[in-house]
A and B are shown apart, each in its own frame.
Chain A
């Protein structure tokens, strides 16, 4: 019984790790570079989730101070992730720019075809 209880209390971590592994699988297994970047973004968002989850207190409210409330969730992970999201889109855009340049040079964004062309050249 306590095993089920432990599982339910950690269900959010289970889903977070599932998302993380889905991202890892896409990055490793898929050859298409845009798909790889989407996988990387999924990995990244799962890390955001991993940071935000421990900061929540059940029954608490958002960390905007007001005399009407007593208990607030932890603001520190919010700050770290807030900046990380915007940095994340900037770096993903950098990756996409590289993909565009690769496409111009090779005519494809599939990893296997790029390796083939390198071997031929």
Chain B
């Protein structure tokens, strides 16, 4: 609970911060806190991924982007009414709806009755792999993972096409018709 509250505090700090460098560093802290929360929630594989991807590689890529562009937000931080109202109303409705969800952490919740017991009981019997996350990831739901891998491949190709192509225009728009 304390970790979750800390997450909310860091998020408010991200909203208030105007220097993009600060935003990226705070986002790295946010990812690490998120990894700790995942750890507490028994999702060790997810925590590991979040710590290495969220706090590691994504920070590096954000910083590499900041190297290429201006690093401060131009506009004054003024609270705009319409987006605030939108968020508050949507959030209120969602919180009101979430109150009838099953309470946190009970073994009798519907999510634990469906297909998960099958994986937990049969993973060793059918695949000899004790880490159920791995066996579900690669075997029971391998088709899913194949799709996800293809998405990563596609995104990688997209970035390469966008960034490795010939630079036709000047960096700050001064020679925009030079092509």
Q: How many contacts A-B (CB < 8 Å)?
A: 280
Q: Is the interface of B mostly helix, strand, loop or mixed?
A: helix
| A residues apposed to B, CB below 8 Å | 6-7, 9-15, 17-26, 28-32, 34-35, 38, 41-42, 45, 48-49, 52-58, 60-66, 71-94, 96-101, 103-110, 112-113, 117
- Taking a contact as CB atoms under 8 Å apart, the answer to whether A48 and B31 are in contact is no
9 closest A-B pairs by beta carbon, nearest first, are: A107-B173, A58-B105, A90-B155, A21-B91, A29-B83, A9-B103, A73-B42, A83-B148, A13-B98
Shortest Cβ distance from A109 into B: residue: B69
| B residues apposed to A, CB below 8 Å | 1, 4-5, 7-8, 11-12, 14-15, 20, 23-24, 27, 30-31, 34, 37-38, 41-46, 49-50, 53-54, 57-58, 61-62, 65-66, 68-70, 73-75, 80, 83-84, 86-88, 90-91, 94-95, 98-99, 101-107, 109, 111-112, 115-116, 119-120, 123-124, 130-133, 136-137, 141, 144-145, 148, 151-152, 155-156, 158-159, 162-163, 167, 169-174, 176
Shortest Cβ distance from B109 into A: residue: A54
Q: Provide the bound-state CA to CA distance between A52 and B7, in Å.
A: 16
Looking at B49, B98, B148, the one whose CB has the most chain A CB atoms below 10 A away is B49
Q: Provide the bound-state CA to CA distance between A56 and B144, in Å.
A: 22
- Taking a contact as CB atoms under 8 Å apart, the answer to whether B45 and A82 are in contact is yes
- Taking a contact as CB atoms under 8 Å apart, the answer to whether A55 and B84 are in contact is no
Q: Provide the bound-state CA to CA distance between A41 and B45, in Å.
A: 19
Q: Provide the bound-state CA to CA distance between A6 and B90, in Å.
A: 20
Which B residues lie within 8 Å of A64 (CB)? 44, 130-133
Q: Provide the bound-state CA to CA distance between A100 and B62, in Å.
A: 11
> Chain B's nearest CB lies how many Å from the CB of A24?
5
> Chain B's nearest CB lies how many Å from the CB of A70?
10
Q: Provide the bound-state CA to CA distance between A6 and B27, in Å.
A: 31
